[in-house]
Amino acid sequence: MTDAPLTPHEAEDALAAEYVLGVLDLAERAEAGARLKRDPAFAARVAEWEGRLTGLNDGFQPAPAPNLLPQIEARLFPRAPGRSRSGLLAWLSGATVAAALSLAVVSTFAPPRPELVATLATADNRLAYRITHFGETLQITRMAGVAAVPGQVHELWLIAPDSAPVSLGLLQDRPLIITHPTPPAGFTFAVSIEPEGGSPTGQPTGPVILTATVGSA
């Protein structure tokens, strides 16, 4: 008996999970990183896996490794007994290269992380949306609760100080991903309940159920 091959959906999901876990080889990781910038659906899968796996780090504390760099230097740049001035210069050059290699490893394998912009939630957290900034996009993901009832939809608005609301899109089952700069502090996000298809007037027509101001505590 053999395992059935993954469906395209399962393969995409597995690739996103492996990217977040950092188990892809360098070429695969570079290709996946490039897809993040051009494929909103794949970026959404990566963000979903980051949310699922975030709790795995809660039980671990940073572990200092004070002897790590000397050990790397000793293996990469073995030295004969005694140290002349030229030997010291060689050691310094070796240390510089080792440090550069360490930084290259960290920058290559540390996965990029979305930055939290705002969280919109009811007082009891029964409905909540999280807004993150990733590259040149904003992603809005429902973290709790359900979508609007049939015939209605949740619509997201951005409100600059002393300005009219601007619709950013409709919030449904899948995360909403839009190309948009991070709003500055003082701007407000709001979610209203609108007829299916969105507000017919370009402004909120139903009740505003969630709000959050960028930069507020």
Question: 18, 52, 53, 51: which is closest to 35 by C-alpha?
Answer: 18
The stretch 35-57 carries a mean pLDDT of 81
144 and 209 inside one domain: yes
Do 105 and 120 sit in the same domain of this protein?
no
- pLDDT at residue 88 tops 50: no
Q: Please say if the pLDDT value at position 200 is more than 80.
A: yes
Taken in order 132, 133, 134, 139, is the CA torsion positive or negative?
positive
- Average pLDDT, stretch 79-92? 51
Judge if 153 and 188 occupy the same domain.
yes
The verdict on pTM exceeding 0.75 is no
- With 60 as the cut, is the pLDDT of residue 29 above it? yes
- Indicate if 188 and 131 belong to the same structural domain: yes
Same domain for 103 and 119, yes or no, is no
**How many structural domains comprise the chain?**
3
User: Considering the domain boundaries, does residue 2 fall inside one?
Assistant: no
Do 208 and 122 belong to one domain?
yes
pLDDT in tens, 152-178: 999 999 999 999 999 999 998 889 999
Is 160 within a domain?
Answer: yes
Structural domain of 160: 115-213
